[in-house]
Amino acid sequence: MQVSDLFRYRNPEIKALHLTWIAFFISFFVWFNMAPLATTMMKSLGWLTMKDVKILAICNVALTIPARLITGMALDKFGPRRVFSVLMVIMAVPALVFAFGNSFAQLLASRLVLSSIGASFVVGIHMTALWFKPKDIGFAEGFYAGWGNFGSAAAAMTLPYIALTMFGGESGWRYALALSAIIMAAYGVFYWFAITDGPAGSIHRKPRKVAALEVSTWGDMIKLLICTVPMVGILVILVWRIQSSGYMGAGWAYVCYLVIAAIVIWQLVQVLLVNIPILKKGVPEDDKYPFNSVLALNTTYFANFGAELAVVSMLPAFFEQTWTLSATQAGLIASSFAFVNLFARPLGGLISDRFTSRKVVMMVYMFGIACGFFLMGLMGSTWPLVLAIIVTICCSVFVQGAEGATFGIIPSIKRRLTGQISGMAGAYGNVGAVFYLFVLTFVTSKQFFFIISAGAFISFIFCLVFLKEPEGGYSEEYHLSSVDREIEKEMGGLGH
């Protein structure tokens, strides 16, 4: 696949790619529509404080992790077209409630529910994988994610203008937020009718069970049990943070802890219920897949996407305080970290497609992140500002590129489990964000950069030891096992 192919709109797969990244773009636009209007909201409402806004920001990512897991299961059962459309239409409801909320409880509850829209990322990953062949999947996934992620930056750049200039008045911010929600719902309806789950006549290959990821060996099942715990267990940190800030009493906090524990136990039970019968029956050799590769890619997304979300939240203050800049100047410089998403993530996928080893590309990127964050940890006021900006942008190129390379591998690990594996890796990205943001509250900015550098290096070691070059990663078609064909027969060989 060439870059010029992106302009061949009549090609069905190119049309699907554009329709899908636009859906992702709108979803992220709505997801991050609060931050650029936060100060406007505070002036308009009077009673909303900066402390309230910080709590709302935490709630904005709270349910993304379980939502990505649940969405991953739904993808394999219903297909990405239905899931994406329904997600966009349903999430418009809390977005509208937030826009017209008149109490902190309304804002908090609606923002908490709206955080589920973050699951949109894994939906598009699955849809793109259904349309593109293994040899092109890296660039396609990178383009999808890079341009879709730009929705958050687009919200920051346009919403203040829409709220203050187009609508104006004390309620301008409400109408701006409501408009973005209505556009999302309308596009969700359009998406339902405008696209199919893969080319016409293709088969939607799905797992036998969607309640938990299938594995190939007893050892893999134990690893899956272990790595299942942090995916929802990390929410304990969020509850503790909200409680310690005085927004939740101890009683409700204990209720939340019990709910989190119950969900974790339920997930562990599902892993056992799904896999014990499969493993007792025996997994055919050609149906086995390397679960260690899933673990390795969980660490890469933890270390790259998790670090990105954390760094974006602290970088403006770091530049402002270190070089004594104005808030506007620091914000513009810091925005360069996210802005390179437009080309760095597609580039990561493209390089993954062009080289002869996706594993080596992944390792080079993770090593580059480790070096980049280490250099950022050395930055100080004695550094020329221009040099600091160059180091920051170069580091970001590696971070975004690594994200593209991660999802250049996932579709080739196990075709019928792409949704669940994408959901797990995506969830680990948010686990990383929550973990790193939590660590940030205890350390200085310099120490923080060294810590996330170490995280990337640990992931590099993980990839070196555990990541396996995906079978048929550069083939015309995805590898199909005897079980895949058996499931296909059970479905009657019908395409959709």
pLDDT tens, residue by residue, 255-269: 999 999 999 999 999
295: pLDDT strictly greater than 60:
yes
**Dihedral of CA 81/82/87/92: which sign?**
positive
235: pLDDT strictly greater than 70:
yes
What is the per-residue pLDDT for 474? 65
- Assess contact for 459 and 251: CB atoms under 8 A: no
- Residue 495: pLDDT band by 50, 70, 90 thresholds? very low
Q: Which phi-psi region, left, alpha or beta, contains residue 312 (left: φ > 0; alpha: ψ -120 to 50)?
A: alpha
- Residue 188: pLDDT band by 50, 70, 90 thresholds? very high
Burial class (CB in 10 A: 0-12, 13-18, 19+), 121: buried
Q: How far apart are CA 308 and CA 335, in angstroms?
A: 12
Give, as one character, the DSSP assignment of residue 195.
-
Report, as an integer, the average pLDDT of 450-471: 92
Least confident of 89-103, 134-148, 168-182, 186-200: 134-148
| Max mean pLDDT range (18-27, 168-177, 470-479) | 18-27
Least confident of 4-8, 45-49, 77-81, 271-275: 4-8
What phi and psi values does residue 477 have, to the nearest 5 degrees?
A: -130, 160
% the chain with pLDDT above 90: 37
What is the per-residue pLDDT for 496? 41
Give, as one character, the DSSP assignment of residue 163.
I
Q: How far apart are CA 129 and CA 140, in angstroms?
A: 8
Q: Tens digit of pLDDT for each residue in 319-362?
A: 888 888 876 677 777 777 777 878 888 888 788 777 878 889 99
Confidence (pTM):
0.81
Q: How far apart are CA 477 and CA 129, in angstroms?
A: 11
Q: Which of 181, 272, 233 is nearest to 434 (CA)?
A: 233
Regarding predicted confidence, which is higher, 310 or 302?
Answer: 302
Regarding predicted confidence, which is higher, 41 or 99?
Answer: 99
What is the per-residue pLDDT for 404? 82
Q: How far apart are CA 137 and CA 21, in angstroms?
A: 14
What is the per-residue pLDDT for 440? 83
417: pLDDT strictly greater than 60:
yes
- Residue 204: pLDDT band by 50, 70, 90 thresholds? low
Helix (H, G, I), strand (E, B) or coil at 380: coil
| Max mean pLDDT range (239-243, 316-320, 349-353, 381-385) | 381-385
Give, as one character, the DSSP assignment of residue 166.
I
- Residue 403: pLDDT band by 50, 70, 90 thresholds? confident
Q: Return the C-alpha torsion angle 249, 252, 256, 261, nearest 10.
A: 110
What is the per-residue pLDDT for 376? 95
Report, as an integer, the average pLDDT of 285-310: 90
Report, as an integer, the average pLDDT of 23-28: 94
Report, as an integer, the average pLDDT of 212-232: 91
Q: Which of 399, 337, 404 is nearest to 21 (CA)?
A: 404
What is the average pLDDT value for the chain, to the nearest integer? 86
Structure tokens at 231: 């995916």
101: pLDDT strictly greater than 60:
yes
Structure tokens at 368: 């580059």
Least confident of 288-297, 396-405, 434-443: 434-443
480: pLDDT strictly greater than 60:
yes
| Residue position matching structure tokens 């979803």 | 27
475: pLDDT strictly greater than 70:
no
90: pLDDT strictly greater than 90:
yes
Structure tokens at 434: 């929550």
192: pLDDT strictly greater than 50:
yes
What's the residue count for the chain? 496
